[in-house]
């Protein structure tokens, strides 16, 4: 039995849901309300001391870290494979799956906080409540980044670096898609699943202009959204516990992003 502890707009949870639906695996979900800090309760921290979703529980055994979960699912359930058959194909796939873990995920969180979450926190919490929330985070570096964004918003220096990292990845995608239909070849694989949520997040923040001049990325994202798994894993969860139309919940940072990209 597969049980997924997740949150509707978590980019890492979206990765795992996409894989589960692509493979047609039955699973049960338990949504963890991040806004109510359910991921920081003693119960959840016993399952994942990092206080992060998703966690896949397979026959009472928890598997943490989305990239690890994706590989685990492939190893245990090899039917409807999401890994290329060849060693070279697998290597190309893993080149993409490691990109979020090497910086894109942190960059995504920074852009999201500066664009949307910081404004919601300010509207709903006073300074003492901010600090109490930050003190509970097991990842102190993450807490420091959030505190800096609370103070400086989009002007925090690493937020601009985060935008530029997204731009770099999008341009690398556009180049890779010159040679194939999908990121690791002509089949949809974990390479695509690993990146889909991050492009989706930019879209939900109103930053789709970042790939307006990258036709291969635009076509790729159109193909992604046409897959049944996208509706099942992303669209169907858009407002379960938190509306993912984030551009309505923050400020319009596109003018700042556009100016940064032009510079």
In a domain, 82, yes or no: no
Q: What are the pLDDT digits (tens) for 23-73?
A: 999 999 999 998 888 999 999 999 999 999 999 999 999 999 999 999 999
Question: What's the pLDDT score for residue 203?
Answer: 96
Last residue of a domain, one of 52, 76, 100: 76
Is residue 67 domain-shared with residue 107, that is, in the same domain? Answer: no
Is residue 112 domain-shared with residue 236, that is, in the same domain? Answer: yes
Distance CA 19, CA 6 (A): 14
Is residue 33 domain-shared with residue 106, that is, in the same domain? Answer: no
Intervals of the chain under pLDDT 70? 120-126, 130
Question: What's the pLDDT score for residue 161?
Answer: 96
Last residue of a domain, one of 50, 76, 102: 76
Q: What are the pLDDT digits (tens) for 3-31?
A: 999 999 999 999 999 999 999 999 999 99
Residue 30: C-alpha distances to residues 76, 122, 129, 224 (Å) = 21, 28, 27, 25
In a domain, 66, yes or no: yes
Is residue 72 domain-shared with residue 109, that is, in the same domain? Answer: no
Distance CA 110, CA 154 (A): 9
Question: What's the pLDDT score for residue 204?
Answer: 94
What is the tally of structural domains in the chain?
Answer: 2
Is residue 129 domain-shared with residue 255, that is, in the same domain? Answer: yes
Is residue 62 domain-shared with residue 92, that is, in the same domain? Answer: no
Is residue 125 domain-shared with residue 238, that is, in the same domain? Answer: yes
Question: What's the pLDDT score for residue 222?
Answer: 98
**Domain containing 20 — which CATH number?**
3.40.30.10
Question: What's the pLDDT score for residue 19?
Answer: 98
Nearest in space to 35 (alpha carbons), one of 229, 249, 242, 221: 242
Question: What's the pLDDT score for residue 123?
Answer: 62
> Domain limits at 72?
2-76
Is residue 161 domain-shared with residue 216, that is, in the same domain? Answer: yes
**Domain containing 187 — which CATH number?**
1.20.1050.10
Distance CA 64, CA 18 (A): 16
Question: What's the pLDDT score for residue 142?
Answer: 82
Is residue 115 domain-shared with residue 60, that is, in the same domain? Answer: no
In a domain, 81, yes or no: no
């Amino acid at each position: 039995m597969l049980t997924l502890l997740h949150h509707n707009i978590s980019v890492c949870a979206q990765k795992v849901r996409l894989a589960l639906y692509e493979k047609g695996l039955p699973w049960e979900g338990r949504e963890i309300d991040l806004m109510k800090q359910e991921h920081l309760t003693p119960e959840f921290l016993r399952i994942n001391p990092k206080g992060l979703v998703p966690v896949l529980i397979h026959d009472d055994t928890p598997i943490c870290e989305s990239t690890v979960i994706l590989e685990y699912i492939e190893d245990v359930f090899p039917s409807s494979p999401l890994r290329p058959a060849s060693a070279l194909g697998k290597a190309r796939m893993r080149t993409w799956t490691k990109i979020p873990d090497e910086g894109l995920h942190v960059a995504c969180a920074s852009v999201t906080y500066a664009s949307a979450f910081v404004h919601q926190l300010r509207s709903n919490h006073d300074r003492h409540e901010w600090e109490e929330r930050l003190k509970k985070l097991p990842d102190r570096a993450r807490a420091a980044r959030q505190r800096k964004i609370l103070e400086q918003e989009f002007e925090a220096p690493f937020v601009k670096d985060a935008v530029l990292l997204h731009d770099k990845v999008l341009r690398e995608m556009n180049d890779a898609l010159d040679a194939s239909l999908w990121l690791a070849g002509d089949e949809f694989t974990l390479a695509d699943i690993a990146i889909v949520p991050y492009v989706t997040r930019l879209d939900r923040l109103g930053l789709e202009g970042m790939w307006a001049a990258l036709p291969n990325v635009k076509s790729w994202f159109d193909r992604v959204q046409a897959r049944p798994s996208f509706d099942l894993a992303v669209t169907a969860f858009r407002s379960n516990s938190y509306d993912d139309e984030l551009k309505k919940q923050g400020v319009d940072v596109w003018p700042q992003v556009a100016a940064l990209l032009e510079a």
